[in-house]
Amino acid sequence: MRARVKPSCVVADPLLELYTVTTTVSQLFRYPIKSMRGEAHASLEITERGVRGDRVWAVRDEARGGIRGAKKIPSLMTLSARFCGAVDGEGASPAVIAAPDGTFCETGSVEINSWLSAKLNHPVTLWPLLPADALDHYRRGAPDHDDLETELRQMFGRAPDEPLPDLSIFAEVIEFESPPGTYFDAFPILLLTQQSLDSMSRIRPQSYFHVDRFRPNILLDASGSDHPFPETQWVGRRIQIGDVELEVVGDCPRCSMITHGFGKLPKDLGIMRSVVAANGGNIGVYAKVVRGAVLNVGDALGL
């Protein structure tokens, strides 16, 4: 499906570019375990919950309590996870985790908790998704700092002279690490354009703005756009990509995860400094699923 094109003689519309630029899916990603590196696919099934199999496992911090991601345990990003076979329904299908030292462990192994704790140098247990009414499981663990501002600046990687992000988009999950019944930060789909990464690379050429740092589900190519961050134009709108319909709900305020070093990517605090200066600390947009379907690389965006 190609984007619908409006004739150029129509009265000027500030959103005209959304109709005239052909935007297509460049890459698709699924992350079996929260904050670990995931899988790239040519096609993925999108359900009302999000990408089938996305973030259906997570680790629990056995020192301070609560489900944790790489905001609190950065070494999670050094591990990668992939499913052992087909993903069965919305449950936590078996997955295998790979460590940088070349060792592996399956999620169903009796050794998984001790193996993960050793690799992360932190006591953790691995959990599948629990029902939404298991509220204690999803409540936030103890903070690292008594002062809320200090805690937020650490989580979001903000310097003392930088504004904290607008967290109003997370109002419904302040009490919880994720919406109960999920391991998402707030919303099931994260969209990003390659043009946003390219814009940041021009602004700060000494850093490597690789897509793996930003963990989208859907990376889009809007190469005909003149906007430095094309996806920000979709906020508040419904969009269609292939046969999937999404409601774009807001910008994604970035946290310290984008600065961590893992794989061949070095630790780089300058990435956060430049994203804050260029776009208020936001890269990418969150979306809800209105209508699910199979999504493919090459599918086009329409409105």
Per-residue pLDDT tens over the stretch 37-68 = 999 999 999 999 999 999 999 999 999 999 99
pLDDT at 20: 54
Average pLDDT over residues 227-232: 97
Cα gap 121→190, rounded to integer Å:
29
Higher pLDDT, 16 or 250: 250
Predicted confidence (pLDDT) per residue in 236-285, tens digit: 999 999 999 999 999 999 999 999 999 999 999 999 999 999 999 999 99
Rounded CA-CA distance 230/293 in Å is 24
Average pLDDT, the chain: 92
Q: CATH top-level class for 16-302?
A: mainly beta
Sign, CA torsion 193/236/46/84: positive
pLDDT score, position 122: 97
What is the spatial distance between Cα 85 and Cα 70, in angstroms, rounded to a whole number?
26
pTM of the prediction?
Answer: 0.92
pLDDT at 5 exceeding the cut of 70:
no
Which pLDDT score, from 0 to 100, does residue 152 have? 95
Query: Cα–chain-centroid distance for residue 9?
Result: 39
> Where are the domains positioned within the chain?
16-302
| Residues 194, 174: Cα–Cα separation, whole Å | 31
| pLDDT tens figures, 127-148 | 999 999 999 999 999 999 999 9
Looking at the chain, the whole-number percentage of residues with pLDDT higher than 70 is 92
Residue pLDDT, tens place only, 75-95: 999 999 999 988 976 668 999
User: Can you tell me the distance from the alpha carbon of 197 to that of 194, in angstroms, rounded to the nearest whole number?
Assistant: 5
User: Phi/psi at 283 (nearest 5 deg)?
Assistant: -145, 120
Q: What is the pLDDT of residue 4?
A: 39
**Residue 191's pLDDT is what?**
98
Q: Is the pLDDT of residue 210 over 80?
A: yes
Query: Residue 14 has what pLDDT?
Result: 47
* Strand ranges of the sheet holding 43-47, from the earlier edge strand across to the other edge: 50-51, 43-47, 293-296
- Residue 92 is predicted with a pLDDT of 81
